[in-house]
């Protein structure tokens, strides 16, 4: 089996590479990084697919970032992600025997959706405003996949994971998601012996987080069992406040200072928990606890600082 992974150096892609290389020697894994294939180029994207002739394509490439990046680079987030989706899907039109696994995002669901959020909530209300451009790009990717399925007969599985974290994430102050951003700031504060760390927002929002290796195990499960659903949520079924999360990260890192919540920054959605009933009924469940996942992620971060 030939499996092509677009975005193989990123958070999701690198996790998939680790899993398949360690546990599935029977798979011919074809990686594709930003340096190897310019997904903004239709010609280069088509060439990679034509040369690879994959049985399965996993679209893990995307421009991603936290609430600050999403809200300040709105044009870049919608344009870049639309280009990636359009070029990959268009390049696969003539290959309707190739199975496609498209990695989306839980941000496609409306701000007003009832929690836990199930797949039927799609397009039932307005999007969360701070990341609506990214959300619209991911919604467009889902719609493109459905038109390909209906018009050309492609088998496309759209996965909507909850908030992911883990090794190979982006650890920065301004452009990271919440967990790698907090790890970055608290580790720096620990090394510099700072007395406090500022955390954006009130700390009250409730969020669901999942280690990226759990998503990889879900993808492995779905491939093995030849699941062909249109759309599936993938989550941990656990919710935690940003304040509780911050204290857990503080404990793992060993930072002794104070946590100061700056309410001048937006909180975003007050609560977001996915309903993963569909994939759980199929036989898959998340297995990595939040504390174990954060410990694993922090160890990787320290080991790879240079």
Residue range 180-203, pLDDT digits in tens = 999 999 999 999 999 999 998 999
266 touches 70 (CB < 8 A): no
% of the chain surpassing 90 pLDDT: 87
User: What average pLDDT score do residues 9-35 get?
Assistant: 93
| pLDDT at residue 175 is higher than 90 | no
| pLDDT at residue 69 is higher than 90 | no
| pLDDT at residue 267 is higher than 90 | no
Strand runs labelled E in the chain: 2-6, 28-32, 56-59, 99-103, 156-161, 163-165, 196-200, 206-207, 209-211, 231-234, 240-241, 258-262, 271-272
Q: Within 13 Å of residue 53, how many CA atoms lie on the same side as its CB?
A: 1
| pLDDT at residue 153 is higher than 90 | yes
Q: What is the pTM of this model?
A: 0.95
Residue-level pLDDT at 306: 61
What does residue 267 show for φ and ψ, rounded to 5 degrees?
A: -85, -25
pLDDT digits (tens, 9 = 90+) for 243-255: 999 999 999 999 9
Catalytic residues: 134
Q: What's 44-103 look like in SS3?
A: HHHHHHHHHCCCEEEECCCCCCCHHHHHHCHHHHHHHHHHHHHHHHHHCCCCCCCEEEEE
48 touches 4 (CB < 8 A): yes
Residue-level pLDDT at 159: 98
pLDDT digits (tens, 9 = 90+) for 130-141: 889 999 999 999
Cα 226 to chain center, whole Å? Answer: 22
| pLDDT at residue 270 is higher than 90 | no
Greater model confidence, 68 or 83:
83
CA–CA distance, 20 with 127 (Å, rounded to integer): 35
């Amino acid at each position: 089996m030939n499996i092509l992974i677009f975005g193989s150096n990123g958070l999701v892609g690198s996790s998939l590479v680790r899993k398949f290389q360690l546990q599935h020697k029977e798979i011919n894994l074809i990686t594709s990084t930003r340096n190897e294939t310019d997904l903004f180029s239709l010609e280069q994207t088509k060439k990679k697919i034509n040369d690879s002739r994959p049985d399965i394509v996993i679209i893990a490439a995307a421009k991603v970032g936290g609430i600050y990046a999403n809200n300040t680079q709105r044009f870049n987030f919608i344009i870049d992600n639309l280009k990636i989706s359009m070029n990959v899907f268009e390049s696969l039109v003539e290959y309707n025997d190739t199975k496609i696994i498209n990695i989306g995002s839980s941000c496609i669901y409306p701000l007003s959706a009832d929690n836990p959020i199930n797949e039927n909530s799609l397009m039932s209300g307005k999007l969360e405003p701070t990341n609506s451009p990214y959300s619209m790009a991911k919604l467009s990717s889902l719609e493109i996949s459905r038109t390909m399925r209906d018009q050309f007969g492609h088998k496309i599985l759209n996965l909507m994971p909850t908030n992911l974290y883990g090794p190979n994430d982006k650890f920065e102050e301004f452009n990271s998601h919440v967990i790698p951003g907090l790890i970055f700031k608290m580790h720096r504060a620990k090394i510099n012996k700072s007395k406090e760390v500022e955390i954006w927002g009130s700390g009250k929002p409730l969020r669901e987080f999942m280690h990226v290796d759990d998503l990889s195990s879900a993808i492995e499960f779905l491939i093995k069992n030849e699941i062909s659903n249109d759309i599936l949520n993938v989550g941990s079924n656990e919710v935690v406040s940003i304040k509780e999360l911050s204290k857990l990260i503080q404990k793992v890192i060993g930072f002794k200072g104070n946590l100061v919540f700056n309410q001048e920054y937006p909180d975003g959605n007050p609560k977001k928990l996915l309903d993963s009933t569909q994939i759980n009924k199929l036989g898959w469940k998340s297995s990595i606890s939040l504390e174990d996942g954060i410990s694993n992620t922090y160890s990787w971060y320290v080991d790879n600082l240079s």
